[in-house]
Amino acid sequence: MRQPCVGVFDSGVGGLSVLRSLRSQLAQAPLLYVADSAHAPYGERSDAYVLDRSMRIMEHLMSQGAIGLVIACNTATAVAVKALRARWPEFPIIGVEPGIKPAVAASRNGRVGVMATPKTIASEKFRSLMKAQSAGAQIIAQPCPGLARLIEEGDLTSAQMRQAVAQHTAPLRQAGVDTVVLGCTHYPFVRHLIEEAMGPDVQIIDTADAVARHAGNTLLGLLPREAQPSAVLQTTGDVQRLEAIASAWLTFPCTVEPTGNAAAASPIGNVSLSPPPLP
């Protein structure tokens, strides 16, 4: 078991956008992040599959010393958060969800677009979010199949990526939305392409900072005072791929290792790399 830490997980690398905000809000906290990249993206999996993976990762993080959990994945939150809280009612679990409420408040014309995975948009939790909004607001839900998978591959400037963003934002432009919600934690990494496609007059809403503030208020007091700040990234997929992405996307020191191997890693620049992942 490691030192007590804040556990974080996502279907892959998208949750690193939340991890960045968590590091800002919990500067002294040990962070342990699991990227379930061997099973990503969750948005293309069945509910039963996502729930099973979420349960397994939750148990793993608890065995590694987690004192609380941040689900840095909209799909996993939508599908599994209720069951996880029922299974571990005393364990603090913080999820992410599309920021529809702040988007409606920020919108000037009352037309808000939500970019999310098909699984998130089809979920009961998303339908509840939609029903809770003002009757005067028009919410345009835009499923983005394949976008999270492209981001997972790590090349954010490819022609294929630009084409996918253009395809998924076109219906929102046609609908005249003035505010767009990023309803998947992968999407902030292509925010620049979304902004470019939507134009300068469209606001982009990302809830990572709000989630991190909530996590700070909920979890910081549960960590021992002698806890030492650290960031460990584990993956069920390719360790070298996660190391490359973390080096490019994160600005703080971290260690990368496979989920089943806690062997010491040798430093490589800002991020350290451990042996190849276990099956």
Dump pLDDT digits (tens) for 80-98.
999 999 999 999 999 999 9
Residues 6+ apart with CB under 8 A from 59: none
User: For the chain, which domains are there?
Assistant: 5-96+209-273 (3.40.50.1860), 100-206 (3.40.50.1860)
Q: What pLDDT is stored for residue 135 in this prediction?
A: 76
Contact 233, 246 (CB under 8 A): yes
Q: What pLDDT is stored for residue 33 in this prediction?
A: 98
How far is Cα 116 from Cα 39, in angstroms, rounded to an integer? 18
Token pair 């991890």 is at which residue? Answer: 19
Provide the annotated binding site for substrate. Answer: 10-11, 42-43, 74-75, 185-186
Identify the three-state secondary structure at position 112. strand
Q: Where are the alpha helices (DSSP H) in 220-261?
A: 239-249
Cβ atoms within 10 Å, residue 23: 18
Does residue 272 have a pLDDT over 50?
no
Give tens-digit pLDDT for 97-141: 999 999 999 999 999 999 999 999 999 999 999 988 877 899 999
Contact 177, 114 (CB under 8 A): no
Q: What pLDDT is stored for residue 269 in this prediction?
A: 31
Q: What pLDDT is stored for residue 222 in this prediction?
A: 95
Provide the annotated binding site. Answer: 10-11, 42-43, 74-75, 185-186
Give tens-digit pLDDT for 231-260: 999 999 999 999 999 999 999 999 999 997
Q: What pLDDT is stored for residue 132 in this prediction?
A: 87
Give tens-digit pLDDT for 36-61: 999 999 988 999 999 999 999 999 99
Does residue 279 have a pLDDT over 60?
no
pTM attached to this predicted model: 0.89
Q: Of residues 5, 144, 184, 254, which has the active-site annotation? A: 184
Residue from 115, 70, 278 nearest 81 by CA: 70
Contact 249, 210 (CB under 8 A): no
Does residue 271 have a pLDDT over 50?
no
Contact 215, 6 (CB under 8 A): yes
Segment holding 266, helix H or strand E? strand 266-268
Give tens-digit pLDDT for 185-206: 999 999 999 999 999 999 999 9
Give tens-digit pLDDT for 202-237: 999 999 999 999 999 999 999 998 989 999 999 999
User: How many residues in the chain?
Assistant: 279
Contact 8, 69 (CB under 8 A): yes
- 256 forms beta bridges with 233, 273
Q: What pLDDT is stored for residue 166 in this prediction?
A: 98
Identify the three-state secondary structure at position 148. helix
Q: Where are the alpha helices (DSSP H) in 4-87?
A: 16-25, 47-63, 74-87
Q: What pLDDT is stored for residue 267 in this prediction?
A: 30
Q: What pLDDT is stored for residue 1 in this prediction?
A: 57
Q: Of residues 5, 73, 144, 254, which has the active-site annotation? A: 73
Residue from 246, 273, 268 nearest 257 by CA: 273
Q: For residue 207, report the phi and psi dihedrals to the nearest 5 degrees.
A: -95, 10
Q: What pLDDT is stored for residue 265 in this prediction?
A: 34
Q: Active site includes 73?
A: yes
List the beta strands (DSSP E) in 106-214.
111-116, 138-143, 179-182, 203-205
Q: Active site includes 5?
A: no
Q: For residue 273, report the phi and psi dihedrals to the nearest 5 degrees.
A: -125, 130
Does residue 274 have a pLDDT over 60?
no
Give tens-digit pLDDT for 134-167: 778 999 999 999 999 999 988 898 999 999 999 9
Cβ atoms within 10 Å, residue 105: 14
